[in-house]
Structure 1
Amino acid sequence: MTSQSERNALVAQIKNFPIELEALLAQYPETMFDIPVKPGEWTIRQIVHHLADAHMNALIRMKLVLTEDKPILKPYDQDKWARQADIELPIQSSLLILRGLHERWAELLSNLPDDDWNRAGIHLENGLVTLDQLLKLYSGHGQTHLDQIRQLSVRQSTQG
């Protein structure tokens, strides 16, 4: 189980993620938002919209775990979601979602009693997962995509 200080750090990561994302995105001209970060991978635009989709699902999964007895946590095909029509929108719509969502998410997680961290849901692909495990997973999810976006910067600067 995660210690309280580790948990606080993970919740802070969730809370601060939109700020980190927006600061990183400010380093790129909008003309780069539709370039794959690596050949065959998503673009910055797809990543930002994916983050909103994934983190909405994450908050809902956590709320289901908190309010139901071992709820089913349904997976979804993120690649199919990343090809839907709304992926063409400017990234601002997803940044707005992420700002509000992460504020609410961090507030929820910051105020849970210790017993709630042991509550679990049943993910149809991964089996039984606790709220504590979901916190670790999703606090790292955003960081993984920040690192992915940074790869475009490195690749572009070396091709100049």
Structure 2
Amino acid sequence: MTLEQLKYPIGKFEQPLTITKDILSQWISDISSFPTRLKNEVNHLTDEQLDTQYRPNGWTIRQVIHHCADSHMNSLTRLKLTLTEDQPTIKPYFEERWAELIDSKKMPIAPALKMIEGIHERWTALLNHLTEEENSRIFIHPEHGKTFRIDENIGVYAWHCNHHLAHITETKKRNNWK
């Protein structure tokens, strides 16, 4: 596999021209099912396997799992800010620096999996009850210098779930892990 394929095993996010109810429903389903899909792939992995990088100079599987907890926690916060404020400017964070902190590099994955389960349960409850008007609310992302609609961001995070899950499943395949 090329470095690009290792980085983006499912490709980069491609936003459809029109976000239909069916597309939105599928994205919400991907977000909702992520904790179970993730647990099924990682619960049996050894510490040595968890500390395997998914690509050269990339994060370990352990860091990917902790990153998902961090990232999805931030996404839920951004959603709530967007639902309760008028075009909020969200706070970006240095995900690569967070991944180097001791809790991401050395802690067991169980706390991150618990966080992901709770975050996704609350997140999905909100996502399943958004109105068309709420889906069109926007936030400002200063790092990217543009605005994002809630429905667009749902797609980005459905992709994010599947993207990082593929890092794990592809690493398992390459290493012949069950």
Match of residue 73, structure 2, among 47, 51, 56:
56
RMSD: 1.4
Which of structure 1's runs of 4+ aligned residues deviate more than 2 A? 26-31
**Consecutive unaligned residues in structure 1, runs of 5 or more:** none
- SS of aligned partner of 1:102: helix
For 2:118, the equivalent position in structure 1 comes to 100
For 2:157, the equivalent position in structure 1 comes to 138
Q: Give the residue type in structure 2 aligned to 1:25.
A: V
Bigger fraction of residues in helix: 1
- SS of aligned partner of 2:148: strand
For 1:152, the equivalent position in structure 2 comes to 171
1:59-78 map, 5 Å: 59-78=76-95
Deviations 1:72-97 (A, max 9, x none): 01211111000112121100000000
Q: For residues 165 and 143 of structure 2, what CA distance do their matches in structure 1 show?
A: 25
Q: For residues 35 and 125 of structure 2, what CA distance do their matches in structure 1 show?
A: 14
Match of residue 142, structure 2, among 106, 118, 124:
124
Q: Give the residue type in structure 2 aligned to 1:156.
A: N
Match of residue 23, structure 1, among 40, 44, 59:
40
Aligned residues: 158
Deviation at 1:42, TM superposition (A): 0.5
Percent identical across equivalent pairs?
35
Q: For residues 26 and 86 of structure 1, what CA distance do their matches in structure 2 show?
A: 18
Deviation at 1:151, TM superposition (A): 2.3
Q: For residues 80 and 59 of structure 1, what CA distance do their matches in structure 2 show?
A: 20
Q: Give the residue type in structure 1 aligned to 2:171.
A: L
Q: Give the residue type in structure 1 aligned to 2:161.
A: G
Q: For residues 121 and 82 of structure 1, what CA distance do their matches in structure 2 show?
A: 25
- SS of aligned partner of 1:69: coil
Q: For residues 132 and 35 of structure 2, what CA distance do their matches in structure 1 show?
A: 26
Deviation at 1:27, TM superposition (A): 5.2
Q: Give the residue type in structure 2 aligned to 1:4.
A: K
- SS of aligned partner of 1:121: strand
Q: For residues 121 and 153 of structure 2, what CA distance do their matches in structure 1 show?
A: 17
Distance change in 2, residues 1:86/1:27 (3 Å): closer
- Using the size of structure 1 for normalisation, the TM-score is 0.93
Match of residue 12, structure 1, among 4, 29, 43:
29
